[in-house]
Structure 1
Amino acid sequence: MRSRTLAVVVLAAGALVLAGCDALPTQSPEPTASASSAAPVPSGSSTAAPSPTADAGFTVPDSCEQLYSPGMLDELNRTNPPLNDPGITIYATENVEALEILSSGIPTLRCSWGVAGEPGLVTSVSVVSADQSAALRDAFSSSGMACEALGSGTVCRIEQQTIDRNDNIVSIGETHYLQGSGWVATHWVDFAPDGYTEDIVATLWS
């Protein structure tokens, strides 16, 4: 599966549209001081998102290795290295409202797995205000993500299958977790390890 080249995924107008580029394409890195534009996440089933528990003391980890349990870190290194390949510069979300917040200069740690042109994922861990957290929950639920309680916070997910230029089925999606002032955003292409976000939540909020 790592040998496939995929089409760039543009999440637009409630549907995932395939354009003529590779998976995990390069684009401008997530800015830290200015907003970027992107298309909204596609629609799907959704549920009302509960408000996360207050967590004003959340801080961004110092390194990507600190996001994961030893077992998950070992699995990622075995199944889809490397960590933080410079060729992967896609965003951790394609949702317009979420991308504006991610691009606003909030404290963020960005981590990726895989190489450009092959299956992989990008995760950003950020600190957000109460208003930003509420806006994110509204943006995810209104865009069609399925949101539910996870631990003391809220997890929102969306997944779609499409066809690449070689007529292969490709799975793409996003997962977001909000608890207090913490936000974990993951955008993935044909690589979604079981329990990935849950492992991050258990590690960062243990």
Structure 2
Amino acid sequence: MSDHGTPTITPGRQWVLLILGGIVTVFVVAAAVWVVSMPWPASTPEVSPAGRPAPAAPPAAVPVAAPTASLAPGTPKPASCEEIYSPAMVGAFADQVLNPAWTTEPAADVRDGADDPELLAIINASEHLSCRWVSAAGASGSGVSTNVVWVTAEQTAAVDARLRALGMECYEELEGLRCITETSTDTDNFGQSHFLRGGIWLATVWVNAGPDGYTHDMVGTIWAGA
């Protein structure tokens, strides 16, 4: 029977094994360093059923409030036309009603508180109430239309200058500025009254209507207690 003793490793083979072992160790260490140091994503994207990453949802839109003109402290702010007249003035309009339904129809024949394009542009660009005393049955040859307009100091100055340029009679009254114009014919009486005070413009036009003291009543009601 042959003798199978421990195999003998020659010096040449021992160096070869040492070199191979060193090379393998270097590769193992380098691979470990690469795995540890490589950048990783913060989170893994959700995978859609088709196998592709689902797109991230866009951020929710933040609503932006429309800018509004700030009112000076103490500026009256009636919320409706009913709040600008006294009960006595409401009773004085015997055959006319305030803002009947037909006045809000698209083709309604209604007027604003001015007939000048520059003044109308300021009314339309500003917060305002439209208050119309007219026939309940529809457009007729008489009525009173007032716009309560909240205006800035710059707009107030522009309205003042425009009223004077139009040749209206302007004077101080009731702690504000009053400008009026009136025309009479054989059949009709029509005119305008404008009152500016503390950030409010009362712009009124009338045709064959309008109780005495109409503007004074609005001023006394809007600035009641002032």
Which of 193, 212, 218 matches 1:200? Answer: 218
Equivalent position amino acid for 1:170 in 2: D
1:174 aligns with 2:195: no
C-alpha RMSD over aligned residues: 1.7
Offset, 1:55: 5.6
- Which structure 2 residues correspond to residues 133-172 of structure 1 after superposition, within 5 A? 133-162=156-185, 168-172=186-190
Offset, 1:141: 1.0
* Larger helix percent: 2
Which of 117, 122, 127 matches 1:101? Answer: 122
Match of 2:62 in 1: none
1:68 aligns with 2:88: no
* Larger strand percent: 1
TM-score by length of 2: 0.60
Equivalent position amino acid for 1:194 in 2: D
Match of 1:81 in 2: 96
TM-score by length of 1: 0.66
Bigger radius of gyration, 1 or 2? 2
Unaligned runs of 5+ in 1: 1-53, 163-167
Offset, 1:67: 0.7
- The answer on whether the counterparts of 1:126 and 1:183 sit within 8 Å (CA) in structure 2 is yes
- Which structure 2 residues correspond to residues 47-62 of structure 1 after superposition, within 5 A? 56-62=73-79
Equivalent position amino acid for 2:134 in 1: G
Match of 2:23 in 1: none
Equivalent position amino acid for 2:151 in 1: V
Q: How many residues align?
A: 145
- The answer on whether the counterparts of 2:132 and 2:143 sit within 8 Å (CA) in structure 1 is yes
Equivalent position amino acid for 2:169 in 1: A
Distance 1:56 1:145, change over 3 A: farther
Unaligned runs of 5+ in 2: 1-70, 104-108
Offset, 1:107: 1.2
Distance 1:133 1:56, change over 3 A: farther
